[in-house]
Structure 1
């Protein structure tokens, strides 16, 4: 098992397969992004090798992310390879986070491989507003992908970044729509990662405020549910649906952190909000033996910090870490 200095078992790996995305969400990316050259990315075989090493060390949940993972060429080859760990029972869950732009193309195949649920990033149900937030997005195409996933039998969870002055007036409507379709919803506070054109403090909405607003609409009951991630869940009694809150700023979730993040270049970040990292690409390209790789994993997890240093305030820097979320991996 991979155990950090604070006794937390690492059982959850989030893997970015690309830094590229076919949207340009204003809180996530600069409009004119410079993406990594393809030669810097891990091959699909290298990604499989690294993921397999983590599974051998007790990781039970793999989440494939980006950027947008479904824009990676031949990405289903990786899903099919990782599916063998589901078949063996070594892995409990293989899932992904997507913007659903290309989900209609792959939903059935994902279900056949053994993916049982997907997280879909969706910040507005209003076409004009959706295009404004994403800069390029077509809401109908995204909704079509979501419904294709539903037809394929995938459980869909909607992830919505709560943005003051941008989408806060429709967050209750997103809950109504999602619960009406049988989807859960998780709200996320905007995180200060990477330089973007806008001032994030202008759109920061504490989820404590949002919960109070939703509590005025529905009866919210706390749930003990944990899905392996940082969300805390409630049930809206009137709809029967679940609402999650991911609060890295108002109430961080570090004390129970069980996850690490692997980038598409083979860089392992032990904490989303810290810069310390381990270069696993260099290790696997230096030798075909996995002994050095497992030693590198031990060394990296031994440096996993107690918590992140995120802060969002008008007196603080514009970003806490320089890398964009699309580089780190969802």
Structure 2
């Protein structure tokens, strides 16, 4: 396993710790960082089958990504989620996690986690746990192996199941993320809930996001989670709870199973009022909002100097422009995607 050598500033050069507060008084304490736009699947709601990925020269090195994450942590970020694409296909990723674990050991970072499709978990779970990863989100939209192949185009259901087993065997808590797709998996939601809770995992349902050209019409995929929740309530007793993980989901307790059901609803129940998140792409572009195009280039200041002064100034200026919220719309009359970039580029 390769190990990244972290950049350690001399005490006199260390930037003062200060929190990141946006124009609406929200503290930004949660950073999602994409380490690659590449993936070993081609999910039908996420990307086209014939994807054109970014040239490697445009991608930040893992050392640069480590320095970037550390800069945000110095500004008060407490939760760091590593995303992609599929983050575990990036060469050297275990060393990256091991390096970032120093912030857990110091107490500066409270949680280091990742979102994955599960395909590589069997190989990496033990070392991720050793690096301090205690929780992962696994994207899984069906329990039917044949349908799984159709949705992911390239995915191997049994490989993902081995990954889930390996993660839980390593002591990592698993949350299943299921994108609700009308006419595709909407008839499986109750079964998915029972299966996830039966193996001690939470389930979170997600409304399809209007990002990127995917060769399909999103309006036909879109299932409002108000509808899914209504269907589930006919079978289960659902009780709102105050559980929070730092993300956008609101949670319900399922009385029959004792497990939690999360709902991420960018369309039907805007969650922007309490947004504490920003995203950085694998090219070093900072998006202050998933549903807005305004961004800041962090790669240039990162590479301009060995000092983090300019990088931190750029981060602070970007947070001062964080918008109040997004305006996602899925409409059959609007054929192009609302935002041109793919979710795999922004980070899942």
TM-score bucket (shorter structure): over 0.9
- Give the structure 2 partner of residue 177 of structure 1: 195
Q: Would the aligned equivalents of 2:284 and 2:298 in 1 still touch at CA under 8 Å?
A: yes
Aligned length: 330
Alignment partner of 1:60 out of 78, 91, 108: 78
1:306 and 2:324 correspond? yes
Partner-residue secondary structure (3-state), 1:261: strand
2-side partners of 1:318 and 1:232: how far apart? Answer: 29
1:259 and 2:246 correspond? no
Q: How does 1:1-330 map to 2 (within 5 A)?
A: 1-330=19-348
1-side partners of 2:334 and 2:193: how far apart? Answer: 32
**Per-residue deviation at 1:252?**
1.1
- Give the structure 1 partner of residue 15 of structure 2: none
2-side partners of 1:318 and 1:247: how far apart? Answer: 21
Post-superposition Cα deviations, 1:83-106, rounded to whole Å, max 9, x if no partner, equal 000000000000000001000001
Q: Would the aligned equivalents of 1:30 and 1:195 in 2 still touch at CA under 8 Å?
A: yes
**Per-residue deviation at 1:315?**
2.0
1-side partners of 2:219 and 2:161: how far apart? Answer: 29
Of stretches 317-326 and 92-101 in structure 1, the one that deviates more from structure 2 is 317-326
2-side partners of 1:79 and 1:143: how far apart? Answer: 23
TM-score normalised by the chain length of structure 1: 0.99
**Per-residue deviation at 1:28?**
0.2
The answer for unaligned runs of 5 or more in structure 2 is 1-18
1-side partners of 2:297 and 2:204: how far apart? Answer: 32
**Per-residue deviation at 1:316?**
2.6
Partner-residue secondary structure (3-state), 1:62: strand
Partner-residue secondary structure (3-state), 1:137: coil
Q: Would the aligned equivalents of 1:192 and 1:318 in 2 still touch at CA under 8 Å?
A: no
**Per-residue deviation at 1:217?**
1.1
The answer for unaligned runs of 5 or more in structure 1 is none
- Give the structure 1 partner of residue 5 of structure 2: none
Partner-residue secondary structure (3-state), 2:205: strand
**Per-residue deviation at 1:317?**
4.1
Q: Would the aligned equivalents of 2:273 and 2:325 in 1 still touch at CA under 8 Å?
A: yes
TM-score normalised by the chain length of structure 2: 0.94
Runs of 4+ in 1 over 6 A off after TM superposition: none
Partner-residue secondary structure (3-state), 1:303: coil
Taking only aligned residues, the RMSD between alpha carbons, in angstroms, comes to 0.6
Post-superposition Cα deviations, 1:10-51, rounded to whole Å, max 9, x if no partner, equal 000000000000000000000100001111100011000000
